[in-house]
A and B are shown apart, each in its own frame.
Chain A
Amino acid sequence: MTALLVALGGGLGSVLRYALGQRYDDRWHHGTLAANTGASLLLGACAGWALGGNALALVGTGFCGGLSTYSSLMVQTRDLGPVRGAAYLVGTIALGLAAAALGFAAAR
């Protein structure tokens, strides 16, 4: 049951990320950045709400995990080259941390 909820959330999150990327990624990967930041915000809130069990499996492990991506972040960073890649990577990580902190604080 729990694994199925992870699969459901992961499928939905992945499609949303893909659609955001299709629509908004161009010279900069705005769509992927929005997906990673939004997923960090929501997962921070899941921690603030102290979600567990099936709710965490669906929303946190599944949806947030599917919506966010580390593999694309790495490949996109490499392909942007040293300067723009570093800016994209540092920006994504800083926004992700800030979003997780904001989500956690807002949910408590």
Chain B
Amino acid sequence: MTPGPRHLLAVAAGGAGGAMLRYAATHAQPDGGGFPWTTFAINVVGSAVLAGLLLLPLARRSTVWAAALGPGALGGFTTFSATSEQARSLLADGRTGLAGAYVVGTLAAGLVAVVVVGALAPPLPEEDEL
């Protein structure tokens, strides 16, 4: 299946919503100067939900909805750039152990989440993994 303009629009709308949700979460519970728990939780939860996306009937029925929710909402909700910048900032402050714990902790928790949830869910098609 080749994604068309409707898929691009769906990704744009989903990405806008996901980014707003992330903004609302970090606004309600700012990361602060220590371990960035809010961004950690966003990335782990977003990864788990993407791995389980096809448990949702809506995402199974329509490739446009799958694009809106997967690459759109969850791609917009989760953020890799913030983890890079937060780790850079912690390293620059000399907090090497905390930076390492944050980077390794996020990827370890994210991987466990996608493996566990993925075992219960139908596999995602390539285009929804972007």
Q: Which residues of A are interface residues toward B (Cβ below 8 A)? A: 2-3, 6-15, 17-19, 21-22, 25, 31-32, 36, 39-40, 42-44, 46-47, 57, 61-62, 64-79, 89, 92-93, 96-97, 99-101, 104
Number of A-B contacts (CB under 8 A): 199
A70 to B110, Cβ gap below 8 A? yes
**Interface SS, A side:** helix
A39, A61, A64, A70, most chain B CB atoms within 10 A: A70
Question: 1/0 per position for B87-129, CB-CB distance to A under 8 A?
Answer: 1110110000000000100110011011100100000101101
Does B75 lie within 8 Å of A66, measured CB to CB? Answer: yes
0 or 1 for each of B1-17: is its CB under 8 Å from A? (1 = yes) = 00100011001111111
In this assembly, does B84 line the interface, its C-beta being within 8 Å of a C-beta of chain A?
Answer: yes
Assembly CA distance A44 to B84 (angstroms): 8
